[in-house]
Amino acid sequence: MAMIWQVVLITAIAGVGGTGLGGLIGALFKKDSSRIVSLLLSFAGGVMMAVVCFDLISSAILPENADAPISVFIVMAGILLGYCVVYLLNYIIDKNTNHEVAHIDADHPHTADDLDELIHADHYEEHRKMNSSYQLFIGGLVMAAAIALHNLPEGMVIGATYAADAVEVSPATLGSGLVMAVIIGLHNIPEGMAVAVPLISGGMSRAKAVLLTAVTGAPTVIGALLGFWVGMLSPLALSLSLSFASGAMLYVVLGELLPEGILMWRSKMPATAALVGILVGLLLIYV
């Protein structure tokens, strides 16, 4: 029971605290910080890519409490499931909101070509034009929901990693779960900035924008509890939990973080930041 509360506390700090801190920084910034946010998002994406590919997936194939390796096809199925679930959730939101944005028509690219589309700030802007507090609430809610979606699998990564650690070592020396929480918390800071700035620009008060941004991190806790609970059931369940979380995180990195970083600074620098992130991730895993 004590370990569960530890998971909840650490995940809440990483999810709600990290995203809220990013929102606060975004609310206080006096100048355009797109390039800084771009590099931070790309760097965080690189770190996550390294952790997923070189740690989580290998742990899913051979969990610490398993007598034999789990079939690679089972791991692949879990990765595909995690990727597809997050993709589907994002698709549903896009399908139900894009028609309200004037410039998204039949000739528009089928993938986002602007940061505002990725975080649904353009949808919020359309609701703001209606000069209705209710419409503002709906627009902000949709935007926050889109950001909150991938906080759930991020939480699962933390929970599943804690479950893997719990099998390997004693609770007093848990390390990988804490490292993962720190990484996700750091990546949530620039992400919170990316959410808060368009909300404030759209007319929302700074305090409300920071609060709404922090709330988008709450699903991280739910995901952590789910990942931890499933991971503790059996070696196969732990493998599936790690696989699902890996697939979900791969979508977040490839479908959101890296595209966001490139759209915020159209240059070679986001790719460089992602490479540095991968190298740092390797250091965190093997040093």
> Across residues 237-254, what is the average pLDDT?
91
Q: Per-residue pLDDT for 281 more than 50? A: yes
Integer Cα distance of 265 and 32 in angstroms: 12
pLDDT of residue 171: 46
- What digits encode the pLDDT tens for the residues 85-113? 989 988 888 887 887 887 787 777 777 76
How crowded is residue 69: how many other Cβ atoms within 10 Å of its Cβ? 12
In the structure, what pLDDT confidence band is assigned to residue 1 with cuts at 50, 70 and 90?
Answer: low
Which ranges constitute the DSSP H helices of the chain?
2-12, 18-28, 34-51, 57-61, 72-97, 115-118, 121-128, 133-149, 151-168, 176-201, 206-215, 219-231, 235-252, 258-264, 269-286
pLDDT of residue 272: 96
Report CA 41 to chain centroid distance, whole Å: 10
Q: What percent of the chain has pLDDT over 90?
A: 25
Kindly list the distances between the CA atom of residue 63 and the CA atoms of 74, 178, 232, in Å, as whole numbers in the listed order.
13, 18, 11
pLDDT of residue 39: 87
How crowded is residue 108: how many other Cβ atoms within 10 Å of its Cβ? 13
Query: 75 near 243, Cβ under 8 Å?
Result: yes
The structural domains of the chain, with segments of one domain joined by +, span: 2-286
The tokens describing 46, both together, are 């690189």
pLDDT of residue 174: 46
**Most confident residue range from 25-29, 100-104, 218-222:** 218-222
Integer Cα distance of 208 and 191 in angstroms: 17
Q: Per-residue pLDDT for 115 more than 80? A: no
pLDDT of residue 277: 93
Query: 238 near 232, Cβ under 8 Å?
Result: yes
- What digits encode the pLDDT tens for the residues 119-135? 777 777 787 777 777 77
Q: What percent of the chain has pLDDT over 70?
A: 93
Kindly list the distances between the CA atom of residue 161 and the CA atoms of 176, 227, 252, 265, in Å, as whole numbers in the listed order.
6, 8, 17, 33
Listed residue (248, 250, 236, 232) closest to 164, CA to CA: 232
- What digits encode the pLDDT tens for the residues 144-183? 777 777 788 889 888 988 888 776 654 434 467 787 888 8
DSSP code, position 238: H
In the structure, what pLDDT confidence band is assigned to residue 224 with cuts at 50, 70 and 90?
Answer: very high
Integer Cα distance of 91 and 176 in angstroms: 32
- Mean of the per-residue pLDDT values of the chain: 83
